[in-house]
Amino acid sequence: MSGIKRHIAVDTNGFPHALGVTTANVTDRNGALAIFKSHASHLSEALNIIADSGYTGEKLASSAKEILGCSVEIAKRSELNIFKVIPKRWVVEHSFSWLEKCRRLWKNCERSLNASAQMMTLAFIALLVKRL
């Protein structure tokens, strides 16, 4: 396995509701569809999904409507090559930074996708326990 992609679905506070790991050769849209299908019960109350431009496409939008009953909104940058915080995207980026604080996740050290997904789960559990 040469690389992985992590996909997470979080609420407005950045807390996870669905986690998934795919190989790097899987597109973002197909990774999102896999998460929608496998975690449909956890995402059933979602009204809107906000995603970055890697998830653009009519297939994803129609599949999200069919599987979850919600719409997909793409949060795009207003200007290229200029850093500007986009609040809607920042929630997910902040959640990814929480994961990066876990030493074992800052680099892909796992040999299987399942082990990597379980490490993500453990990292979020540790984060949530600290916040209690």
3-state secondary structure 45-93: CCCEEEECHHHCCHHHHHHHHHHCCCEEEECCCCCCCCCCCCHHHHHHH
Q: Give mean pLDDT, residues 8-26.
A: 90
Which residues does 110 contact at the CB level (< 8 Å), separation at least 6? 4, 116, 119
pLDDT of residue 105: 78
Percent of the chain with pLDDT over 90: 31
pLDDT of residue 1: 53
- The structure tokens 């069919």 sit at 66
Which residues does 83 contact at the CB level (< 8 Å), separation at least 6? none
Q: What are the backbone angles phi and psi of residue 73, rounded to the nearest 5°?
A: -115, 130
pLDDT of residue 54: 84
Mean pLDDT of the chain: 86
The residue extents of the domains of the chain are: 4-127
Please give the structure tokens belonging to residue 47.
């009204």
Q: Which amino acid is at 95?
A: S
Backbone φ/ψ region at 22: left (φ over 0), alpha (ψ -120 to 50), beta: beta
80, pLDDT greater than 80 = no
CA pair distance 68, 44, nearest whole angstrom: 6
CATH number of 4-127: 3.30.420
42, pLDDT greater than 90 = no
Which residues does 17 contact at the CB level (< 8 Å), separation at least 6? 9, 10, 11, 39, 42, 43, 46
pLDDT of residue 15: 87
